[in-house]
Structure 1
Amino acid sequence: MATSIISLWQKKFEDSEKEKRKKFGQEVKKMRRAANYSREEFARYMNISEEALIRIETGYVDPETNRLKEKVHYALTKSFMVISL
């Protein structure tokens, strides 16, 4: 059975999408570690579950879904006010 041009193009597209998700996940993990956040903390700041963060960091989630890039940015730039008495 011959492979069609369409199925070859689809495979190439799927591979590039997987690579994009993988690179995004690696960057999220790298930035989280640089900010010295645990997965639990970072997931809380992003308002997602820790399991969802694991899926992001391992490349199973499309970075374009659910305003994911904005959530990562918010979690990394979130400031905390410390009140001393």
Structure 2
Amino acid sequence: MSFEKLEVKIHQAIDIISLLQIKIKELKEQNTQLLEEVNQAAGYREALMRENEQLKEEQNARQERLRSLLGRIDKVS
């Protein structure tokens, strides 16, 4: 193999390595962004779960009050 061919292959390898480094950087940035989105979604999920639990408790309290009122109406009737 001539020196020129070896030099061309070395330059090609360097170009490929440079492109791969750029791609790795892009993928790391994308990964960071996706992790932030996942964390944000998890936060939303937690907030929705708490709100859902609170609404269930409120619904149960209202149902109890309604049962109590219906019981009183039955006693009066």
Q: TM-score range by the shorter chain?
A: 0.3 to 0.5
The higher radius of gyration belongs to 2
Give the structure-2-normalised TM-score.
0.43
Which is richer in helix?
Answer: 2
TM-score scaled by length of structure 1: 0.39
